């Protein structure tokens, strides 16, 4: 599973809106949507912000461990 798919899955499991997640990590909803669609590449900093928000490891988000 690719990072964009994992991030979307985590958001849906928590029943969070894209607007909520985007606000929590300091970006706008349209940019966050592009991450979930695979239209924007995740920077290291963005991976760290999202991992902290979801309380998951960066390794999990990157598909290095389950």
- What is the per-residue pLDDT across 28-57, written as a single tens digit (0 to 9) for each? 999 999 999 999 999 999 999 999 999 999
Structural domain containing residue 41: 3-59
66 within some domain: no
Q: With cut-offs at 50, 70 and 90, classify the pLDDT of residue 66.
A: confident
65 within some domain: no
CATH code (residue 26): 1.10.260.40
Q: How many domains does the chain have?
A: 1
Question: Tokens 């349209």 label which residue?
Answer: 30
Q: What is the 3-state secondary structure (H, E, C) of 30-56?
A: HHHHHHHCCCCCCCHHHHHHHHHHHCC
Query: What's the whole-model pTM score?
Result: 0.91
User: What distance in Å separates the CA atoms of residue 19 and residue 1, rounded to the nearest whole number?
Assistant: 23
């Amino acid at each position: 599973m690719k990072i964009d798919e994992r991030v979307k899955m985590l958001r849906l499991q928590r029943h969070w809106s894209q607007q909520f997640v985007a606000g929590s990590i300091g970006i706008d909803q349209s940019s966050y949507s592009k991450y979930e669609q695979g239209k924007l590449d995740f920077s290291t900093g963005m991976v760290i912000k999202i991992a902290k928000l979801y309380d998951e490891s960066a390794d999990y988000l990157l598909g290095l461990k389950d």
